[in-house]
Structure 1
Amino acid sequence: MIAEPLTAGAYLRRRRESAGLSIDDVAVLISVTDAWVTFNKALVKLIETDEHVPSPGFFDRLRGAFAFDRFVYEQLVCGPRPRHLHALRRRGRARRRSSLHRSRLKGTSMPNDPILPGLVPPLTPAEYIRLRREAAGLTIAQAAKPYYRRPEHAADVEATLRRAELPGAMIREDYLVDDYQRAFPFDPAVYRQLRDEAPAHHPTICRSCGCTSWTPCIGRDGEDCSIGEGLTCSVCEQKAHRRSQRRAA
């Protein structure tokens, strides 16, 4: 019987178990406050299943919790990947080549073009997070500030928020989705609908700021906004009109 090759995540799991620690124990040891324990527990699980590679700062915190050889870990990370990751990478390259070929034929950028004239592609969970953050006027660095106290943890938090906005990214843990409300106005129920429901059941969302009928913008007149057929709310349309007037002046 041929044994499966040792992966970086499996190596960390073995070293943790050799130290007599559970994932809960490690999460407590590396967390700055109790509020981070649940988050770090989920992150350690992802690392041990080779679904995530820790940043240097998080890596150092893991080494403070239990002993392992950094050189061995890095060799395993750079070595052969599990088969499913190879398959995902091949499919990703094939899709990129196909999209590039079509865009060269048409002379346009295919990923951003609607399939049919007037048809708007469904909003993704990652795009919803980005729209709400930008509507609040925050950069990723600014949005990350409520989640850490020590400056050395900033890079880890910013990297986590940045990954959540990558194309195709989805946050499966509901407690992490709920936690976004600490950073900026954000509706977890809308995120879950975009993540779990078919596009036909998605709410109507402004494509400029991410507001909905449940979380509307407030106009200068104090009234709630309304979202028209162009999927832009009335407040965003008014802002765009004022910007165009200033440019023309």
Structure 2
Amino acid sequence: MILSLAGIVLGSSALAVQPPEPPVPPTAPAAPSKKINISMGSGDGYALVDSSEDSVTMAGTDVDGQQIKQLQRSLKGHFLWFRDQGKGYVTQDAALLTRVRDAWKPSQQLGLEMSGLGKQMSEHGKAMGEMGRKMGAHGAAQANGVTRDAEQLQTLGRQQQELGRKMGEAARRQAQATTETARRAAGREVERLQQQIEDAQDAMEEVNDRIAATQEREAAKVDALSRQMDQRGKPMETLGKEMEALGRQQERASKAADKTTRQVIAQALSEGKAKPVR
């Protein structure tokens, strides 16, 4: 899930300068990935692979990507690669693979749900960016003949644009985080940037209030857009909390799936259903 907020750019015909470059169009959210990267911090690495769908579920820090790629070229369908005591093994036992796939389904489903929330946050962000652009246009009209206020509005507009870009990146990191620590860190960054956006918006409204003394009609339009932006910001807070909750569920589901997978690995070794990889 890729999240991006369009920035706010203000221009004024009253200034003897070139208007700022238009913001780069926001990047469309990427399709949810079928690849799950889990770092448990202990235990040998493993990878559940479906060569036909290019789907890989990995865990551990010592996964041999080159060896897995070679197996994908030589093996068809599903297989489980794993490392035990430094050696690589592979199994294609249907019953064992079914257990592992079923174990990971809840985590994968939660990941898709988080991607959906991330897409919603991205759409809200784009709408807020468009409102900011309109606020910039009205602000430029208000600033006709008031050079100092117009310059301040331009500065705030560029600040909003940069904060919007950073907000999109932080929201994307939050959606794609695979550990609770990373998810919380990204969540705190989203909250911090949201506060900065609100502070910059408040500053912009103060400038607009000064201009409103002589440009009441334009000021009314800006106020209306500001209220719409406030309303757009509220769902993002709710979505962020929902994403945090799903993230905690996904972490629990991943730990349970990891436990099942390691039990399957032990069974494959004990029953001779795993072959060493040369």
Shorter-chain TM-score bucket reads under 0.3
TM-score, structure 2 normalization: 0.23
TM-score, structure 1 normalization: 0.25
More relative contact order in 1 or in 2 (CA 8 Å, sep 6+)? 2
Q: Bigger radius of gyration, 1 or 2?
A: 2
